[in-house]
């Protein structure tokens, strides 16, 4: 099947942890590598036009040095943009994403994965925004000053007062709020508080795989009712509980099809979690993205639906939220 649709469509991947690879010195993302999942040459080969890059704060830094570590990761994105301006740009507006595609560049959407990076200071959120951050994942897996992550779900904790202020300031600044990793009570709080649509950048269907990182039908329906988007992810353990090492592209497509049936074509996207997980072998890195489009075409999905899933739905939320 022709890849023409895939490369013509706007393709946006909702989550990766790749910038940590560059920060650690493992590889420079401007060069093609055989290890890992993402670099600029492989993003181009896979037809990915815009990539959400998470500035994740590893556990050892979450209590001390979180803001510094997140800043160091963000600095690596800026270095790429400064050294390879003909290939890579940090998107601050929705138009930047469209312009980058037209110019044959990769657009980076800079995000924080966990409010630990804010060190309990709302002013740091504004500073990160000034530096190009346009997406905030409120939690990783544990408790921070804003909320509880999924590993703290037993507490029943939602947003703290600081977390409420963060949601309100994200709305004011124009930062998308990402509830992947957030405990259920926090997801409910964000849905009730946010004036804007929200995203779950990399989560699958709990009904098919009862991992705490996945979303229930009720959660997905509530996100969709808010106008939000859920990114189907490639993480083996979020696709299948039994023998996750044997997951395939079929498992990922099963989640995608189930989620489409629950919330409809306007609310599903793709968030690989590349360089943060083990994936099915058929989607081993960014170059294999066209296989997903081909399988959707083979499955009888129309061009309009496929374009929405590949990037149109994320773009709709970005246009609505980013000021």
50: domain CATH number is 3.20.20.140
Instruction: Report the pLDDT value the prediction gives residue 125, as an integer from 0 to 100.
Output: 98
Residue range of the domain that includes 163: 4-321
Determine the Cα–Cα distance for residues 289 and 285; give it in Å rounded to an integer. Answer: 8
pLDDT of residue 1: 52
Could you tell me if 37 and 16 are in contact, meaning their C-beta atoms sit under 8 angstroms apart? Answer: yes
CA 255 to each of CA 122, 128, 240: distance values in angstroms, whole numbers, following the listed order: 36, 34, 10
**What are the structure tokens assigned to 280, written together?**
């099915």
So what's the pLDDT on residue 66? Answer: 94
Q: φ, ψ for residue 76 (rounded to 5)?
A: -65, -35
Q: What is the pLDDT of residue 227?
A: 98
pLDDT of residue 259: 98
- 229's enclosing H/E stretch is strand 229-232
Whole-number pLDDT of residue 2: 64
Distance CA 54, CA 182 (A): 15
State whether the Cα torsion 167-170-176-178 is positive or negative: negative
Return the pLDDT at 155: 84
C-alpha span between 52 and 55 (Å, rounded): 10
List % helix, strand, coil for the chain (3-state, nearest 5). Answer: 50, 15, 40
Question: CB 264: neighbour CB atoms within 10 A?
Answer: 13
What are φ and ψ of residue 177, in 5° steps?
A: -100, 130
Per-residue confidence of the chain (323 residues) as pLDDT tens digits?
569 999 999 999 999 999 999 999 999 999 999 999 999 999 999 999 999 999 999 887 887 899 999 999 999 999 999 999 999 999 999 999 999 999 999 999 999 999 999 999 999 999 999 999 999 999 999 999 999 999 998 888 899 999 999 999 999 999 999 999 999 999 999 999 999 999 999 999 999 999 999 999 999 999 999 999 999 999 999 999 999 999 999 999 999 999 999 999 999 999 999 999 999 999 999 999 999 999 999 999 999 999 999 999 999 999 999 98
The model scores a pTM over 0.85: yes
Intra-chain end-to-end CA distance of the chain, in Å:
39
Residue 154: the pLDDT is 81
- Number of structural domains the chain divides into: 1
**Where do the H-state alpha helices sit in the chain?**
4-8, 19-23, 40-45, 59-62, 66-83, 94-103, 122-130, 161-173, 184-193, 217-225, 236-239, 249-263, 289-298, 303-307, 313-321
| pLDDT number for residue 13 | 98
Query: What pLDDT is attached to residue 216?
Result: 98
């Amino acid at each position: 099947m022709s890849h023409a649709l895939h490369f013509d469509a706007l393709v946006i991947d909702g989550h990766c942890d790749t910038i940590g690879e560059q920060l650690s010195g493992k590889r420079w993302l401007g060069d093609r590598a055989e290890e890992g999942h993402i670099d600029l040459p492989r993003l181009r080969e896979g037809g990915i036009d815009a990539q959400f890059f998470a500035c994740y704060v590893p556990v050892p830094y979450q209590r001390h040095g979180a803001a510094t570590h997140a800043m160091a990761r963000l600095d690596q994105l800026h270095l790429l943009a400064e050294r390879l301006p003909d290939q890579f740009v940090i998107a601050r507006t929705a138009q930047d994403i469209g312009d980058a595609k037209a110019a044959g560049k990769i657009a980076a959407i800079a995000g924080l994965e966990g409010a630990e990076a804010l060190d309990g200071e709302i002013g740091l959120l504004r500073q990160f925004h000034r530096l190009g951050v346009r997406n905030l994942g409120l939690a990783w897996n544990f408790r921070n000053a804003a909320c509880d992550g999924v590993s703290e779900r037993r507490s029943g904790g939602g947003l703290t007062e600081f977390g409420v202020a963060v949601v309100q300031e994200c709305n004011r600044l124009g930062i998308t709020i990402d509830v992947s990793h957030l405990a259920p009570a926090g997801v409910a709080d964000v849905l009730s508080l946010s004036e804007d649509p929200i995203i779950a950048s990399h989560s699958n269907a709990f009904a098919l795989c009862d991992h705490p990182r996945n979303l229930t039908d009720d959660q997905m329906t509530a996100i969709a009712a808010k106008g939000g988007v859920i990114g189907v992810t490639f993480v083996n353990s979020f696709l299948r509980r039994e023998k996750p090492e044997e997951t395939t592209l079929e498992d990922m497509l099963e989640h995608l099809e189930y989620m489409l049936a629950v919330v409809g074509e306007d609310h599903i996207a793709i968030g690989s979690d590349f360089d943060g997980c083990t994936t099915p072998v058929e989607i081993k890195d960014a170059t294999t993205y066209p296989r997903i489009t081909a399988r959707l075409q083979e499955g009888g999905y129309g061009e309009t639906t496929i374009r929405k899933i590949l990037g149109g739905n994320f773009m709709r939320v970005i246009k609505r939220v980013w000021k």
